[in-house]
Structure 1
Amino acid sequence: MEVSNQKIADKHPQGVPYLFLTEMWERLSYYGMRALLILYLVSELHFSDEDAAQVYAVYTALVYLTPILGGYLADRYLGYKAAIYLGSSLMLLGHLSLAFPELPFFYLGLGLLIFGNGFFKPNMSTVFGKLYRNKPELRDSGFTIFYMGINLGGLIGPIICGSLGEGKNWHYGFGAAGIGMAIGMIVFYFGSRKLPASLWERTAFVENIQSGEASLQPVDTHIKERIALIGILSFFSIFFWMAFEQVGSSMNLFALRHTDRNLLGVEVPASFFQSINPLFILIFGPIVAYLWSKLAERGKNPDPILKFVMSLFLLGFGFLVMVFASWEVASGLKAGVLFLFAAYFWNTMSELFLSPVGLSFVSKTAPSRYAGMLMGIWFLSTAAGHYLAGYLFGWAGKFSDLSHFFLFFVGTSWGAAALLFGLWFFLRKWLWKLN
């Protein structure tokens, strides 16, 4: 009987599949649209690289900035379910707006997607984290599974939307993203009805019932340390995202302009290469999740700071590969696809060591009455990284040799890794208090 109970205890919460599938369909729509965005701007609207970079930078930054507002409103007023429904509806309208060819509909669609994502993204992550309140030991592996849902959508989206957008009509691709969002809303409607009502309660409301005026209690030193740890890791995640998000801009155009994409006499659409990263996530995600679980059983699971250090170190290797690929281009040749596969491999391993770990850490460490807002802070750092990624992409054309552009990200990644590792010796005592 003890073995049977232990097996039951080791299982993930029953709500995981519903939230997994909802996130998968929403990410299918997002990554399908993102795979087309920079290509549409430069190929169809004939934006210069610099102007396209500004649109891309502002859009991807605001997509991750609005979660601060969405998380706060969900915490204090809307509740998580209402916020997720509101965000889904706005994003659906945004994708459908992009399906119209007129430029005003294009900008309207981007705006709706920005605000919709602000309500959807932080609250889905917060609700998923709440599933593990009674199973904290499974939280890291649980968020890696959740992350696989994100990347399953990221794998399918560019293939579907890219085939239609690049191959048929750009607006067919944007419309297909809207259909994916609609399916996600249907999945969430039926799945959310099977989850406990307590999962959707506003954090502030629950605390006031349990502890009176909880929001008026002073913030003690331990809470300040927890908030500071979230802030520090959020800051260093900026270095990750400003490099990693070259995937949608400079690396996307590198695939379009400088990569030999012929396969058996057929030219593969550039947008398809956006699916390499999520494909690797699906392959290696379970392995990394298993690794964390096994290391946790032996008491050797690296703490989140060390995982971030390893992530930034691996990220540098990915851009070192792009330096080598740029040397091929400088010699007058087109780079082979293996360069992009190798770069995406290292970037994927880096992502698995940081992004799901960061989501898990914030949901676990944030004081409950600030949960949604601090998840928004995590996405604020992501917004900063995405803006810098787009802004820096605009400078790529100013380099006579692309290898110098990609070498910059090798330096920032390894430099940030070294600095964070140095800080770890001072911060690890705060981490010990969390256990």
Structure 2
Amino acid sequence: MSQISDASFSEELEKQGIDGSLVLGHPSGLFVVFFTEMWERFSFYGMRVLLINFLTSAIISGSPFSGWGWDPVQAGALYGTYALLLYITPIFGGILADKYLGYRYAVVIGAAIMTLGHLFMAFDTPLFLYLGLGALVIGTGFFKPNMTSILSEMYKKFPQKKDAAYTIFYMGVNAGAFFGMMLCGYLAERVGWHYGFGLAGIFMFLGTLQFWYAKPIFGKVGDPPSKEDKANTAKIVESDDPEDKPNPFTMVDMVLIAVMTIFGLAYSFNDPLSKIAGIDILASLQIGNMAGQNVAIIAALALFLFVVISRLIRYSKIVRNRLIAVIIFAFFVIFFWMSFEQGASSLVIFARDNVDRTLSGNSLTIFNIVNTLLTVVPLILITYVVAKLTKQTYGKAPLTNLVQFVCFAGVWGIAIYMLYREFTAEASEITVSWFSIMNSFFIITFANFVSKIWDSKYNPPAAVKYGLGLIVMAIGFGLLAFGAQGIQEGVKVSMIWLILAYLFHTLGELCLSPVGLSYVSKLVPARMIGFMFGMWYLAIAIGNKLAAILGGQIENITNEYSLSTFFLIFTVVPIVAGLLVMMLNPVLKRLMHGVK
């Protein structure tokens, strides 16, 4: 595909009403989106890294470090439902934005609701915690699908630049996660929980402002759809398969979908209600020794399979086979996220209770030097990008630039406070949240390297990438199982095992995660893309819920068997799944009918 010069690119952008100022060869609007996503991820991951730790920490009367003293089963039930809903609400948020709101207003609405959610969570009472999590779920529904939609619309006439734009965008995702977990986690564990949760809310609010004030940069990108847009959206986009015919949802389909949705949501809410408050709203569904909520989720899954199978048999052969391939990929995605998302639950508890985090003398000095480089070098690079953006857009969006200055002054101030405090301490205990930043750090470090492998002659088939992702991630858990082998009560594991585990988890993620959505877009007819993306995110949601349920069992399994046994579960299951999906490669290749 032919390249376009910066001058021509800028001129074409101006013709569309988009600010033609370029930063590092891309429109300034890309970097507004970059920083909006960065501050949202800062807030999301800053809160996420604290939640399980806060809920399961000991109750200390009158102390800013007092947790709620929940057991991991209760905390996992609540977090699992929260994580599941985070992947469900974007389906509805995307529909509302497409039909009525437009992408920019949807983003602002979502960001404002999430800001309110973070504000609620700064008051650590049960009512405000639940209100806060609810607001975050609803806000994410508006925010999550529409940031990438803005990016897609901005580059729709420049496909040759889209891959690079998405790479930059996802660097913003990981930069936000990195600094959010580092700084929110540090304040929470060194100053008090309120400060960690509160900081997440402050940056969510500032990120909302900088996006709102940047409207002149975007022109009409992300505006509410016009009547003409709605008419075009309503048209059925034909498949490249001449045998493919429209397959509208029947009344029976819609009724069954409604019933399975009710059962699924009832299970999701009943799980934490029954484990935390002892309220079982599904008790009447109990059959023998099977709990009512288990009956509900089995019924939901059975109805789901019936609807999927009944719809599949109504498609032509090529479309049906390709959809089956997508469903197989989605099935194995559940096993990946079920294990990978232990980083939000069991690995937080493991880092707090079972990892030797105490440093002094030379080891503390070395850690402080490494931590300083980890903090300062990325901050310098991102500050440089902010300076370039400010130079290009100061006259067009001065308030956006003012908010960005406040944001970065705040981040630099907190980072310097953190580094100074640690350097002046004679002995220190690494914060629990510090280990969670390893995932983002390793993604930033290795993403380009892995993408070059996929662009080379060594690019393997999708099934092999899936298998590699599952097996490589499993190696990380295998290292934890080995490191925890035979430890006695009171003895702690070296932190090197947890750092190595995060390295292999990240390499596994880089093998598998980027592949999924790409193959959905390639295999599914255009008129069905929204529905199948919804199914894909449902698989991820199920994986997240299972991760939290299993992660909540860390203490029970450790007490009954051993800590090593707990990690072996997440070693053996993904390896078996990975080998199985690799064995299915010939079958999947036939089902895909030439799609590569």
TM over 0.5: yes
Relative to structure 1, the CA distance from residue 238 to residue 3 in structure 2 (aligned partners, 3 Å threshold; closer, same or farther) is closer
- Offset at residue 373 of structure 1 (A): 4.4
Alignment check: 8 A CA contact 1:242 1:387 kept = yes
1:29 counterpart letter in structure 2: S
Residue pair 1:32, 1:154 contacting (<8 A) in 2 also: yes
Change (3 A) 1:379 1:4: closer
Does residue 272 in structure 1 map to residue 469 in structure 2?
A: no
Of the three residues 380, 385, 389, the one matched with 2:543 is 385
Question: What's 2:190 paired with?
Answer: 167
Q: Indicate the residue corresponding to 1:243 in structure 2.
A: 339
1:232 Cα deviation after fit: 3.0
Q: Does 1:83 align with 2:106?
A: yes
Matches within 5 A, 1:5-404: 14=27, 15-43=29-57, 44-129=67-152, 133=156, 143-191=166-214, 193-195=216-218, 197=220, 206=229, 208-209=231-232, 212=235, 218=246, 221=316, 224=320, 227-264=323-360, 265-292=427-454, 294-295=455-456, 301-327=459-485, 329-330=487-488, 333-362=491-520, 367-399=525-557, 400-404=561-565
3-state secondary structure, aligned to 1:266: strand
> What secondary structure sits across from 1:416 in the alignment?
helix
Alignment identity in percent? 38
State the shift of 1:71 in Å: 2.5
In 1, Cα distance between the equivalents of 2:97 and 2:334? Answer: 25
Over 3 Å counting, the alpha-carbon distance change for 1:385 and 1:81 in structure 2 is same
CA distance in 2, matches of 1:58, 1:174: 20
Question: Post-superposition shift, 1:251?
Answer: 0.7
Measured in 1, the distance between the counterparts of 2:487 and 2:349 equals 13
Q: Larger C-alpha radius of gyration, 1 or 2?
A: 2
Per the TM alignment, residue 112 of structure 1 is displaced from its structure 2 partner at its CA by 0.3
Structure 1 Cα separation of the partners of residues 331 and 153 of structure 2: 24
- TM-score, normalised via structure 2 length: 0.65
Deviations 1:79-129 (A, max 9, x none): 322322221111111001111232211110010001111221123234445
2:78 is aligned with what amino acid?
Answer: V
Change (3 A) 1:309 1:87: same
* Alpha-carbon spacing, 1:413–1:21, altered in 2? closer, same or farther (3 Å): same
Query: Could you tell me whether the CA contact under 8 Å between 2:41 and 2:176 is conserved in 1?
Result: yes
Q: Distance in 2 between matches of 1:430 and 1:6?
A: 42
257-266 or 137-146, larger mean C-alpha shift: 137-146
- Residues 348-373 of structure 1, C-alpha deviation per residue, up to 9 Å, x if partnerless? 11111222333444456554444444
- Residues 1:239 and 1:433: Cα distance change in structure 2 (over 3 Å): same
More helix by share: 1
Query: For residues 5 and 163 of structure 1, do their structure 2 counterparts lie closer, same or farther at Cα, with a shift above 3 Å needed?
Result: closer
Name the counterpart of 2:581: 420
1:194-237, CA deviations, whole angstroms, 9 ceiling, x for partnerless residues? 3464666669974733885659x715745555544443322221
Q: Which runs of 5+ in 2 are unaligned?
A: 10-23, 58-66, 239-244, 248-314, 361-426
Give the residue type in structure 1 aligned to 2:77: Q
The separation in 2 between residues aligned to 1:285 and 1:204, in whole angstroms, is 41
Which amino acid counterpart does residue 250 of structure 1 have in structure 2?
Answer: S
Q: Secondary structure at the match of 1:327?
A: coil
Q: 1:395 to 1:290 in 2, by over 3 A?
A: same
- C-alpha contact (below 8 Å) 1:122/1:376 kept by paired residues: no
Supply the distance in 1 between the matched residues of 2:25 and 2:321 (Cα, whole angstroms): 29
Answer 1 or 2: higher relative contact order, Cα 8 Å, separation at least 6.
1
Query: In structure 1, what is the Cα distance between the partners aligned to 2:585 and 2:529?
Result: 24
Is the alpha carbon distance of 1:31 and 1:364 closer, same or farther for their aligned partners in structure 2, counting shifts above 3 Å? farther
Give the count of matched residue pairs.
429
**CA distance change for structure 1 residues 326 and 165 in 2, over 3 Å: closer, same or farther?**
same
2:42–2:176 contact (8 Å) kept in structure 1 = yes
Distance 1:42 1:203, change over 3 A: farther
Deviation at 1:410, TM superposition (A): 1.2
TM-score (normalised: structure 1)? 0.87
Larger mean Cα displacement after TM superposition, 158-167 or 350-359: 350-359
Which one is further off, 56-65 or 362-371? 362-371
Contact 2:352 2:432 in 1 (8 A): yes
- Contact (CA 8 Å) 2:154, 2:221: kept in 1 or not? no
Task: Describe the shift of the 1:343–1:4 C-alpha distance in structure 2 as closer, same or farther (beyond 3 A).
Answer: same
Is 129-138 or 249-258 further displaced after alignment?
Answer: 129-138
Structure 2 vs 1, CA of residues 63 and 181 (structure 1 numbering), >3 Å: closer, same or farther?
Answer: same
Superposed CA RMSD: 3.2
Gaps of 5+ in 1: none
Deviation at 1:241, TM superposition (A): 0.7
Q: Contact 2:86 / 2:541 at 8 angstroms: preserved in 1?
A: yes
CA–CA distance in 1 between the matches of 2:355 and 2:485?
12
